[in-house]
Amino acid sequence: MADEASRILFTKQMRKTYKLLCPNMADIHFHILQKVFCASGYDVELLTNTDQTVIDEGLKYVHNDICYPALLTIGQMIAALKSGKYDLDHVALLMTQTGGGCRASNYIFLLRKALKKAGMGQIPVISVNLSGMEKNPGFKITLGLLRRALAALVYGDMLMLLSNQTRPYEVEAGCTDALVDRWVDDVCEQFGRKRGYQSRDIHDNLRGMVESFEHIEIRRVQKVKVGIVGEIYAKYSALANNHLEQFLRSQDCEVNVPSLMGFMLFKVDNRLEDIRLYGGNPFKKLFVQLLFQYLRVFETYTLDALRASRRYHTPASYLEVKEMVTPLIGYGCKMGEGWFLTGEMIELIRGGYGNIVCAQPFGCLPNHIVGKGKIRQITEMYPQANIVPIDYDPGATKVNQENRIKLMLSVARERLSEAGQED
């Protein structure tokens, strides 16, 4: 209660004059989300500083036993604040807060502690969560904002999938990225007109995205297909994984990064699993069930739009992934990415992406159990699987990480060559 009483609130008056800084994670998704928050009256800026000062500041203000994503996000914010670019009396920080047993629940408190140590304790830290853990008078997730934010995640997932399956084969270099930018601008413009987040709009936009990407001329050749799984920040953030996707593309690979919507469904479904096991408020159960079904509708729109195409691979649904893991792990294993990480690896293997990089912060216990700890069992069930776990932390060198990935890719290329000879 003492921490709550001393917390610097973000007030309604601050909303009019303060800039809100937010760490980036998934480029496409977060750029759309930034526009969503700006359209709702918040002056939000995504942080893009990724130089060595980010790690240096993180190590200075965060103990290195804390997980790597906390060190990076806090270091990125402190470095940005020290850059001289911002008015420290008119800036606030946005940070997601998950709750539960993961160390991510403590990022907010670690950030406030770091700010005080750096002499910037007057800066408000806003917790972005749906659990009611912290509230601020000047920041509120309204129903309209939530609907737009969820739509942004749906669009981000689709654009990420389509671009990853198109970019390696495009005849005209750069046309895939140009189309992604066009669609980001398009959906953000729709949000500005209070469109784009209704069910019919999402249905039509997703189909429009698939159809527009099908018009990009491609040259279909054999490439090594690589999936990326792991802790959510390490999986999506180029800062955290040393630009893993870019490196894999430089190695002439097609990359598959599973959707954020799948992770959202997993987190909501966990609440239902808790209620099923331990009981709970019936009104809370009804709300969670409605939210789960709401997300499932968007997932269905995405999968249906992809199934209508002959060009693009359609991933399995969340419920199908949930069924896949039953021989290996129980649904009660849900800290961090939980059983869903195991499920993502199996889904990728079944979908033709048997070469997998499992990106995990060093010392992330959930990931080491449900990721690295399940590799042997997965490879026993699926001998074609070729999985390499990669630890990310301040002491791990990029050269060592990339060399381990190259060893995995050498096996992948050998298998691809053998398969081609058999054909």
Backbone φ and ψ for 145, nearest 5 degrees, come out as: -65, -40
Tokens, residue 296: 């499932």
Architecture of the 2-140 domain? 3-Layer(aba) Sandwich (3.40)
Mean pLDDT, the chain, as a whole number?
A: 92
Count the neighbouring beta carbons within 10 Å of the beta carbon of residue 209.
24
pLDDT for 235 equals 96
Q: Which band of pLDDT confidence, cut at 50, 70 and 90, is reported for residue 176?
A: very high
pLDDT digits (tens, 9 = 90+) for 261-291: 999 999 999 989 888 888 888 888 999 999 9
Asked if residues 381 and 359 have their Cβ atoms less than 8 Å apart, the reply is: no
State the DSSP H helix or E strand holding residue 165, giving kind and residue range, or none if neither.
Answer: helix 143-166
- Same CATH fold, 225-258+315-422 and 2-140? yes
Structure tokens at 393: 């932390």
Q: Does domain 225-258+315-422 have CATH number 3.40.50?
A: yes
Q: Where are the domains of the chain?
A: 2-140, 225-258+315-422
Q: How far apart are CA 300 and CA 199, in angstroms?
A: 11
Residue with tokens 């419920």: 319
Instruction: Please report, in angstroms and rounded to a whole number, the separation of the first and last CA atoms in the chain.
Output: 67
* pLDDT given at position 182: 98
Q: What is the pTM of this model?
A: 0.93
Give the type of residue at 268. V
Distance (Å, whole) CA 353 – CA 386: 9
Averaged pLDDT for residues 30-45: 94
Dmax over CA atoms of the chain, in Å, equals 69
